[in-house]
Structure 1
Amino acid sequence: MEDIKQVIGQRIKAARIKKGLTQKEFGEKLGLTRSVIGGYELGKQNLTVDTLKKIADALGVDLNINLG
């Protein structure tokens, strides 16, 4: 089973790239450093639901959580 942090990180990275943003630019939108964004994208750093919502908003996407 894949680590959920890695799966979410890969999806964040794909959405960021699709929007044409560098990690630095994306971090600036969120008030975070490039290294924090890198940690999220690599699945090395835990995300809160609030942070996930901020990321989704900054990327202009919906935050959908499926527990089923």
Structure 2
Amino acid sequence: MTQSSPTPPVGERIAHLRKERGLTQAKLAERARLSTSAIAMYETNRRQPDERTLAQIAEALGVEMAQIAPHLAAKAAGTHRTTPSPSESQPGSDRPASWEPSPTEQEMSDAPGVTQLVLTKDEARLILFVRMHPDAMPFLQSYVTADPDKRRQLERAWRLIQAFQG
């Protein structure tokens, strides 16, 4: 935390609170249901977490969101809850059943040239994989368009590969 700025950046506050609790970035990531690289990027201020993510991090650290992001404290007090209870979550979704976009998210999605895409964790992983391994795209396209018999054959081959690796 620097002396020149009275309010340290969000990332510095996350790092300070994490270290204060004796947590590694990996452990905080696990508790917050985020990736370790996301925590590292937030702590170094290379990325800024949205309100929902801040709420997950605050919950994982056992603090109020205001301790991490004081500028959001007043706003959060008068708005909807950003962390779902387990009973509110829909299967296969990271969003609660009653989730509605915050005003900021709504403004972003209404901005010209901005496309907001809600993905599951598995969909995001697949997109990241294809971006890192573009040579795999033809195989994935052939799998998606394959007839059911061909798919079963590919799935059997995949299970065999997994069995040999395990």
Equivalent position of 1:7 in the other structure: 9
Equivalent position of 1:48 in the other structure: 50
Q: After superposition, what is the alpha-carbon deviation per residue over 1:10-55, rounded to whole angstroms, capped at 9, x for unaligned?
A: 0000000011100011111122221111000000112111111111
Structure 1 segments (4+ residues) deviating >6 Å: none
Equivalent position of 2:18 in the other structure: 16
- Distance of 1:27 and 1:17 partners within structure 2: 13
- Distance of 2:46 and 2:39 partners within structure 1: 10
Quick check: which has more Rg, 1 or 2? 2
- Distance of 2:50 and 2:59 partners within structure 1: 14
- Distance of 1:30 and 1:54 partners within structure 2: 5
- Compute the TM-score of the two structures, normalised by the length of structure 1: 0.81
Paired-residue identity, %: 35
- Compute the TM-score of the two structures, normalised by the length of structure 2: 0.36
CA-CA distance at 1:66 after TM superposition: 3.8
Equivalent position of 2:61 in the other structure: 59
Q: Does the 8 A contact of 2:42 with 2:48 survive in 1?
A: yes
Q: Which has the higher contact order (CA 8 A, sep 6+)?
A: 1
- Distance of 2:49 and 2:71 partners within structure 1: 16
Q: How many residues align?
A: 65
